[in-house]
Structure 1
């Protein structure tokens, strides 16, 4: 088995720390010196890996979203789960992890979208690409659920995936304010077990 070159290992460590620092302190609150010191990389060596902090931020965004896509894909690859069950299992795992972390961090994509989404074109494109990849993976699960009769079919899977991703981001902000994962649970319940279901399968509500 081939070993990962040292340069790639160091780059990966920088990106890991970039995710940690930018999630906790934001883009502008994260100093390169602190990130470099955390992985014992001399400041002058940073530019061997990235041309600028902006390029580093864009790379961190792509690095951040990858585990979420892999986790969701892992649920979708399980043949015993329907598309609806795969999505629910995925989000329940995220909720459990956020509760374990005591509601800290939220979503780096959402955080950076608000902080630098309209000030850095390079990072904006990275955010757009990351969100697009994530939306497409959600849509894959929704389309499967539609084919299995578990989700409504009068709306395109991509549009429903956009709605789910947007609602989840809003619920993450509410989570921070309320210091509770209840907004996340409500988001999944109202969409995956409610609005996304065929009309005849939706829970009966009363005024």
Structure 2
């Protein structure tokens, strides 16, 4: 098997892990389901991952990367300020969730509640993913402060932490209510109400 094929197979297994964990949770997902969905034999799984716990860690890393990439893309657009890019980014996430009937939410938040306090390995992976995301938000808010579009009486780090916490809370309420109202409140009250200059 070539290196490219090996990476494709691993990515496919991780894609199905993300999908199944979103629908059924970590504990509700069996490895046999992941393997059946990815159409790979059991031996292939253990070629890539030593255990389900290690697989969960890799799923977390795999899940967060597209969000990092997408936010980076929004922030890299020519002629758009950082605060406007953040607003566009979060509005895009809200529209995507609306199109999915407000199901799923955020895998990080789901797993934080399910296994965040039962597995040191999972906790470390979740913490790393949240920190990466928070650090990118902080960079964006620092830029917005320099541009004059974000308040300067609060640190960019504190505002980034608040955005993470408020977004996760809004996602949980969204799932409960099956409504975009909490996401709209996040945008209007937290991002544009609290963080914006």
TM tier, smaller = over 0.9
Quote the offset at 1:154 in angstroms. 1.1
1:184 and 2:183 matched: yes
Quote the offset at 1:4 in angstroms. 5.5
Map 1:104-143 → 2, pairs under 5 A: 104-143=103-142
Give distance in 2, aligned partners of 1:197 and 1:95: 19
Give distance in 2, aligned partners of 1:101 and 1:159: 31
Quote the offset at 1:126 in angstroms. 0.3
Segments ≥4 residues shifted beyond 6 Å: none
How big is each residue's C-alpha offset from its partner over 1:1-60, in whole Å with a ceiling of 9 and x where there is no partner? Answer: xx8621111100000000000011000000100110111111233111100000000000
Structure 2 SS opposite 1:74: helix
Map 1:126-205 → 2, pairs under 5 A: 126-198=125-197
How big is each residue's C-alpha offset from its partner over 1:88-124, in whole Å with a ceiling of 9 and x where there is no partner? Answer: 0000110010000001110000000000001111111
Give distance in 1, aligned partners of 2:17 and 2:92: 23
Greater C-alpha Rg: 1
Q: Which runs of 5+ in 2 are unaligned?
A: none
Task: Give TM-score, length-normalised by structure 2.
Answer: 0.97
TM-align CA RMSD: 1.0
Give distance in 2, aligned partners of 1:183 and 1:41: 40
Structure 2 SS opposite 1:27: coil
2:101 is matched with 102
**Contact conserved, 2:106 with 2:171, CA < 8 A, in 1?**
yes
Give distance in 2, aligned partners of 1:29 and 1:81: 43
Give distance in 1, aligned partners of 2:196 and 2:132: 24
Q: Which runs of 5+ in 1 are unaligned?
A: 199-207
Task: Give TM-score, length-normalised by structure 1.
Answer: 0.92
Map 1:27-106 → 2, pairs under 5 A: 27-106=26-105
Quote the offset at 1:191 in angstroms. 1.7
